[in-house]
Amino acid sequence: MPRLLPWTSEAGKACYLSTDSGSSMLSGLADEMEEVQLSMGEDVLREARRLLSDPLSPHAEVRYAGIRLAECLVDALRVAESRGMRLPVPDSEEHAAAEERPAPPAHPARQRPAPAQSP
C-alpha cells in the first residue's frame, strides 16, 4: 500500500511513496519530517496557550497563533492518516473480539465539565 507522505506537491495535492520497504531513504526522510512537524505543533501550541491565557494579548498575535495552529493541525492530521494507513489490518476474529471490548475511558482533558445546575 502506498505511504502518504507528510508534504504536498506544489499544486497542494497529496504525495505518496510506493515501496515495499519502510526503511528506504525517502521513508526515513518522511519519518524525520513527521517528527519535525509534530514537534513544531507542540511549540506552537505552547506559545498559543501563553497568548490565550493573557487577556491583553494583541489581536494580531492571537490571530497569527490561530493561523499557525491551523497549519499544525493539518500537518498532525496528515501524520495520523499516514500512520493509520500503515497499521496492519486485524484478522476478522481479532476485529470481532475488539468490538466486544468496552471503550477506554475518555481522556480527562477532553471531558467537558457538567453544566451548572440552577438553584
Query: Mean pLDDT score of the chain, rounded to an integer?
Result: 85
Handedness of CA 48, 71, 58, 55 (dihedral sign): negative
pLDDT of residue 20: 72
What predicted TM-score, i.e. pTM, was given to this entire model? Answer: 0.69
Residue 28 main-chain phi, psi, to 5 deg: -60, -40
Residue range 69-101, pLDDT digits in tens: 999 999 999 999 999 998 888 876 665 666 666
Which range in 1-5, 34-38, 111-115 is most confidently predicted, on average pLDDT? Answer: 34-38
Nearest residue to 73 via CA among 31, 37, 22, 21: 37
Distance CA 80, CA 90 (A): 18
**Confidence band for 119, pLDDT divided at 50, 70 and 90:** very low
Residue range 11-70, pLDDT digits in tens: 999 999 987 777 889 999 999 999 999 999 999 999 999 999 999 999 999 999 999 999
Distance CA 36, CA 41 (A): 9
